[in-house]
Amino acid sequence: LILVDEQDNVIGNCSKKDGHLRSVLDQPNATPHRAFSVFLFNEKHELLLQRRSSHKITFPNMWTNTCCSHPLYNDDELATGPIPFQGIKTAAIRRMGYELNLSNFEESEMNMVQKILYKANTDQTWAEYELDYILFAKKPADQIIFKANENEISHTEFVDRENILDFLESEVNTGKSQITPWFNMILQTKLFEWWDHLNKTGEVPAEDTSGNIID
């Protein structure tokens, strides 16, 4: 994984295990690692959600956005050009292929709309401390033909803006599932503003080339 400071400057790397151990992240000098969260919409502006599988070490069985993972510490996924946030988008495309068998994406089809910084514990052993890039994309439904990797995803659901809260509240209130902390943070802050822009203009929000971070 790519270790960064809280201003997103690269300071090193670590294993995936060390990047998620509470014994490491609870230390005073702990630093975040880079991550990304993809929000994929169809032409009806429905968002594809996934429920993480029971096999996941962090936040298993929880609902979240379309795809969430990490860029790797290599030249391709550290890259900063020729398009903005090249490495992050390359990593997102790799992971979309792995989790959903979606391989028909180009980096230019994704907009990086915000960075968020968050820290959350899964249990007594595992946690997250991430500088998360939020990526928006939109495709016609006939180009979102996917097959979920059962090791990563247990369920998927397309939801629209009007019904997402009812859907998630039903899942939580009936004890079926919870919501990942990063998805909940985005849901509680900027998601509906971005979704309104999509509904009004038909386009995903413009890229935030300034790379602002919210926490």
Residues marked active site are found at 68, 130
List Cβ neighbours of 55 (8 Å cut-off, separation of 6 or more): 151, 152
Tokens of 204: 């995903």
- Report d(CA 158, CA 46) in Å as an integer: 6
- Report d(CA 32, CA 129) in Å as an integer: 5
C-alpha 79 chain-centroid distance: 19
Contact 35, 43 (CB under 8 A): no
Select from 147, 67, 49, 63 the least CA-distant residue to 110.
67
